[in-house]
Structure 1
Amino acid sequence: MKEPLCLIGSDSEEQLCVLKEAKAILEKITQPVVVVSVVGLYRTGKSYLMNRLARKQTGFALGNTIESKTKGIWMWCVPHPTISDHTLVLLDTEGLGDVDKGDEKHDTWIFCLAVLLSSTLVYNSLGVIDNMALEKLHYVSELTENIRVKAHMSRDEDESAEFMRVFPSFIWTVRDFTLILEKDNQPITADQYLESALVLRHGNSDKIERFNLPRRCLRNYFAERKCFVFPRPTSDENLRKIEDVKEEDLDPRFLKQAQEFCSYVFSNAKPKTVTGGRTLTGTVLGSLAEVYVEAIRRGRVPCLENAVKTLAQIQNGKAVEQAVQVYINQMFISLSLPMDPAELSDLHQQAERKAIEVFISTSFNDAEQKAQMDLMGQIQSEYEGLCHQNQEECIRVCKSKLTRVFAPLEEALSEGSFMRPGGYQEYRSTVKRLTQEYRSYTDGQLMNEKVLTEYLNAKEKFAKNILAADQRLTEAEQKTEVERLRMQAVEQRQKGLEKQNGLKEQMLKDQQRTYEQHLNQLMERMEREHKRAQEDNERVMQAKLNEQRVLLEQGFQDKANQMNRQIEGLKNEMRNHDDSKRSTFSKVVENVGTAAALFLPGIIPKAFGAIASFFSSWF
């Protein structure tokens, strides 16, 4: 994208909506996306930070008046500077707390959407992190009221752990920071400054509860927290035209912080995932935005579990359609019928591999592999159709060659040239010579022996008539010749059968290869998702352990004990997650094997052996 576009705006009825032009751009992004969104009060310089991440001087509208320039959520997709084959999606949100809007609920939904769509959330504020700054972040306190992870949760489930798994990492950027980072006359880091601002107070009064609530939410819902403090970038006069200010005219301390901020985001922001470690592509991200916005329009609370199910319905049909089209396109790039079956098989293998890659990258939560079964069946149908076309084209070419080569024989037969003494030997010699000539012309052609067999079978009655009319042969010689003709016909049919058996063997190899390709790529994706889910669990566990330590240090023994129960629950969950890996993978192999039984019957005897070999390589 050369410049940002509005992703989520408002329609004529002031309802949130996803803009088609921006959605169309996301539809084309089949790479994993790292999504960084910025939120904060209006006129705090959010857009400038996003332009720095895009490594551009201009892009997101900055403005130089008290009027908020950004409306809705704007998107800028750029190649990720450090992770190959990934796209960096920057989301610049409408400024919160704009007095001209007078719509607090609108701000809440903008904040919630930024949280739901991003893998890293940047909260931008001015001055210092104090109680007033935290009170302005009351949107965090409302997250659990406006977002659900699961449609139904049991009483025993740790809600904060569920949010931690799916919520983005959190970066607080403090602009125009003028204080010295010291505490008790000792220097502290920006991260320590943030954590000291999140210390809870003891007591149970309403006032203390209001004080603790935003701090507790930040600690409980965001497993990774980071802070950057920026001095004022330049003079007031230059700030009014910041887009035109050169790097050398900016405060070196500001530049240093900006570079460290960008470097941190590029190195640490992870690809966007949803529950189960499923990584999103741009295509899925666009659909996810639509699902969330539609829930808000209908007055519902966005639910991640329901969104994943809806996305699966939307994406998997598209994924199969796109993958089949890729297969067809790849086949026809090099297809030139008739062609050797082995060459057609190799072409099929390459096209199928690319088709499966497209399917794996664009499908979503195909839990029971129903979409992959559909893809397997459609590709096999397309391939069988091409094999049939290849055979028909081979037959056409061979018949054309045969007609030309055997034209002298046909002419001699029509003129009765062989119906005389000695004519049979001449007929035999002619057939033998022309057969050799035909084979030399059609050597390597798929159906040459089948066409020749049918032709020679059709000529058997002529051969017998010529043999009967040849008075030079004795009765015994004629009987011998009849037997020889019979044996010759058997041999010719055998040659045709050998060719057909070769074709069947090739088809079986293709089916086995298809089964293995589908299973291999599916298992690779599941392994990636399992690894990412495991990382999320470990991240949440570490956050809980850190929080428990801090609670104990600050004298919150009861809360630390409650945290201990949550930690034990997480440990059990992680153990169960590891134990379920083998059973899940076994079910996947079984499902793909079921598809193979339907569409690739030739691999059935080998499928059970494949299960053992796959498990030996994956565990």
Structure 2
Amino acid sequence: MDAPVLPMPAPLCLVNNKDGKLSLDPTALEVLRGVTQPLVVVAIAGLYRTGKSFLMNRLAQKRTGFPLGPTVHAETKGIWMWCVPHPRRPGVMLLLLDTEGLGDPNKDDDDSDAWIFTLALLLSSTLVYNSVGTIDQRALEQLRLVTELTKHVRVQEEDDNPASNFVRIFPGFVWTVRDFTLQLRAGEKTMSEDEYLEDMLRLQTGNGHRAQERNELRHCLRNFFPRRKLFTLERPAADADLSRLEELREDELRPGFRKQVDAFCRYIWEEAPVKVLPGGHQVTGSVLAGLVEKYVAAITSGDVPCVESAVTALARAENTAAVEAAVAEYQRGMEQGLVLPTASYDMLVAVHRDWEQRAIALFLSRAFADNGRQYHAELVRKLEAAKEEFCRRNEEASEQRCRAVLRELWQDVEQRLQRGDYAAPGGAQMFQDDLGHVLEKYQWWPEKGVKADAVLEVFLREREPLAQALQATDAHLMMMERERKAAAAKEAAAREAEVARLKEQQRSLEEHSRQLEQRLREEQRLRLEEQDRMLEHRLKEHRALVEEGYKRDAEAMRRQIDRLREEKKRIEKPSWISSAVDLLGSVASLFLPGVFGKVAGLVTNVVKRIF
């Protein structure tokens, strides 16, 4: 079966859930791998038969797509995906994930709800939770899965307190409340939707077991999801029309509902971020496909999915592919940009520099979690080897051309030799004159390339016995002088080529380091922004705990804030950038002999630029 062509005309099942066992659909995975643009991933979760699919179809700007279904039976099983062009951001794709409804009484496996919800969290950059009625204790209880996430997700392989790191990887949280009929008021004061949500998440008074359970859930929602948003939606149509919602015209939907849904869609389109991995690397279709494979494999084997181990395993394959893609881009560009032989080594290097720069940029745009710089060092090695191969081919092309030129120029001399013209009186002078003409024409012949002197030296050495046999002393001396000059030029050219090669290796490493530094600066900026967001969230939560009288929780939160501040200070230091550049230079020096001993100076320059 051929994979559908993007954009996808209709949703595909990505994760099957059959009898509580999860599996991946190969066709959907193949389609996902073909998405090379960054992804904004929006997943929706909630109780079954609450209208989740309708909202996702609206986000896709379609009336139909994800099945709505007119009965009380759940239509969506597993996780379905629909990848469409982003309505607001060129070059970005919007991936919609419609999940199986929670709490379906027809399901035999209670764990499948938890795993579907976990996958929605891990895969999305924005999670929409859809419920009906109001945000009351019953509605909050339906989110009880949030309190059990420590059983289903690990952020790091060695993590004593996994919940404290959830905020680093969890998506933004949007709560949509369907069929909402209450007035948003607190006494005489009108409340916004977000104020209503925060009021419902305030910790409850009391020390009993029931109060602790209620507050545990509120703690989790507040701590795990610092980016929270609420949308309330009135009933979309009259009760009699709800079963045919897909068929209703736009003007048959209630105006208030249309306005609310439009506000929800605008928020998602304008505010939902691109999915990123820890460290800020944007997720494409191939990366997301790799992640879902790792997570589902862990779940089906009975393990708890670990974000760090999944990213590390995925990075190996993705970084290897990034190296190969960068080298392929370099070789393609060199093949198109070079006409061999080049007139000089510098001409080849000029083209090399252009495509090397592009190859490095391509690699750095795709590579991630290359903390040991082994893949970047592999790129350095392969680009150097590819450049040397082009140099070899350039020299070979030059040799072939020079030999062909000399054969052509020597034809008249060869014919005279065969006729015996040089054996007659005055033949030696005639040979000397003809030889001079050959050498003069060769000197001015265009496009001989970098091996002109070396080929000429060999040519003259091979014909020395001929001049001696003809007793053409002057011609013999001329050949020996030209041979000597050609040999000297060859030796000088070799020395210059070696110096140029070593300088080029040094320049190449500096280009790698320059682009790596830019990438690391961007990573530093993203990490500091993440730290600031987490600090802002923790400080806000600390203030709320103090105001609500939870001194012990507030003290624990203050310790988390102190740790975040210390971590921010470490990120702000330039040492981790300089050490990364140093590491790349050290590894590169193993196969770039011209740069050993210059790495320290290179790192010093990088640090100076940072300051």
Q: Where do 5+ consecutive residues of structure 2 fail to align?
A: 1-6
Q: Distance in 2 between matches of 1:514 and 1:395?
A: 27
Q: Tell me: CA distance 1:338–1:246, structure 2 relative to 1, closer, same or farther (3 Å).
A: farther
* Residue from 152, 169, 174 that aligns with 1:166: 169
Match of 1:473 in 2: none
- Residue in 2 aligned with 1:111? 117
Cα offset, 1:406, TM superposition: 0.9
SS of equivalent to 2:175: strand
Following superposition, the deviation at residue 444 of structure 1 comes to 4.8
Return the alpha-carbon distance in structure 2 between the equivalents of residues 320 and 250 of structure 1: 53
Aligned to 2:586: 594
Tell me the CA shift for residue 106 of structure 1.
0.2
| CA distance in structure 2 between the aligned counterparts of 1:360 and 1:209, rounded to whole angstroms | 48
How big is the shift at 1:504?
A: 4.1
Q: How is 1:111-150 mapped onto 2 (pairs within 5 angstroms)?
A: 111-150=117-156
User: Which of 429, 437, 445 lines up with 2:449 in the alignment?
Assistant: 445
Distance 1:260 1:618, change over 3 A: farther
> How far has the Cα of 1:409 moved from its partner?
1.1
CA separation of 1:481 and 1:148: change in aligned 2, threshold 3 A: closer
User: What amino acid is aligned across from residue 603 of structure 2 in structure 1?
Assistant: I
Aligned amino acid, residue 377 of structure 1: R
Distance change (3 Å), C-alpha of 1:485 and 1:385: closer
Q: Distance in 2 between matches of 1:4 and 1:518?
A: 42
Q: Name 2:208's counterpart in structure 1.
A: 205
- 1:583 maps to 575
Give how far 1:300 is off: 1.0
When the two chains are superposed, the root-mean-square deviation of aligned CA atoms in Å is 2.4
Aligned to 2:270: 267
Percent same amino acid among aligned pairs? 39
Q: Is the 8 A contact 1:273 1:279 kept in 2?
A: yes
Q: What is the letter of the counterpart of residue 540 of structure 2?
A: N
Q: 1:416-473: per-residue Cα shift (whole Å, max 9, x none)?
A: 422454333322221121222233334453323322221112112222333x3x6xxx
The alpha-carbon distance between structure 1 residues 605 and 208, as it changes in their structure 2 partners (threshold 3 A), is closer
Residue-by-residue CA offset, 1:218-271 (whole Å, 9 max, x unaligned): 012111111111112223344333333333333232222222222222332222
Separation in structure 2 between the aligned mates of residue 437 and residue 455 of structure 1, nearest angstrom? 15
Q: Which amino acid aligns with 2:15?
A: I
Partner of 1:151: 157
**Secondary structure in 1 aligned to 2:101?**
coil
Which of 487, 491, 502 is matched with 1:493 structurally? 487
Secondary structure at 2:70 match in 1:
coil
Aligned partner of 1:5 among 8, 12, 25: 12
Instruction: From the superposition, tell whether residues 212 and 482 of structure 1 become closer, same or farther in structure 2 (CA, over 3 Å).
Output: same
Could you give the per-residue CA deviations for residues 90-142 of structure 1, whole angstroms, max 9, x where no partner exists? 21111111111132200100001111111111101111111110011111111
Q: Compute the displacement of 1:52 (Å).
A: 2.0
Counterparts of 1:508 and 1:199, CA distance in 2? 66
1:513 Cα deviation from its structure 2 partner: 4.1
Q: 1:614 to 1:425 in 2, by over 3 A?
A: farther
The Cα of 1:164 is off from its aligned counterpart by 0.9
Which residue does 1:405 correspond to in 2? 409
Secondary structure at the residue paired with 2:302?
Answer: coil
Three-state SS of the structure 2 residue aligned to 1:191 is helix
Match of 2:527 among 508, 512, 533: 533
TM-score under structure 2 normalisation? Answer: 0.92
Q: Is the 8 A contact 2:586 2:599 kept in 1?
A: no
Alpha-carbon shift at residue 87 of structure 1 (Å): 2.6
Match of 1:224, as an amino acid?
R
**Counterpart contact for 1:181–1:187, Cα < 8 Å:** yes
Specify whether residues 485 and 393 from structure 1 end up closer, same or farther in structure 2 by C-alpha distance, changes over 3 A only: closer
Q: Higher mean Cα deviation, 552-561 or 111-120?
A: 552-561
Secondary structure of the corresponding residue to residue 422 of structure 2: coil
Name which of structure 1's ranges 555-564 and 191-200 shifts more when overlaid on structure 2: 555-564
Q: Helix, strand or coil for the counterpart of 2:589? A: helix
What is residue 39 of structure 1 aligned with on the other side?
45
Residues 344 and 375 (structure 1 numbering): CA distance in 2 closer, same or farther, change over 3 Å? same
Q: Distance in 2 between matches of 1:21 and 1:508?
A: 50
Counterpart Cα distance in 2 of 1:235 and 1:400: 89
Counterparts of 1:344 and 1:95, CA distance in 2: 61
Deviation at 1:60, TM superposition (A): 1.9
Does residue 394 of structure 1 match 2:398? Answer: yes
> Which of residues 323, 327, 330 is equivalent to 1:324?
327
Label 1:133 to 1:119 Cα distance change in 2 as closer, same or farther (>3 A).
same
Task: Say whether residues 1:81 and 2:75 are aligned partners.
Answer: no
Q: 357, 382, 385: which one pairs with 1:381?
A: 385
Contact in 2 for aligned 1:30/1:361 (Cα 8 Å): no
Measure the CA separation in 2 of the matches of 1:596 and 1:18.
40
TM-score by length of 1: 0.91
Give the residue type in structure 2 aligned to 1:426. M
Name the SS for the 1:392 alignment partner.
helix
Q: Which amino acid aligns with 2:605?
A: S
Report the CA distance between 1:33 and its aligned residue. 2.3
Aligned length: 603
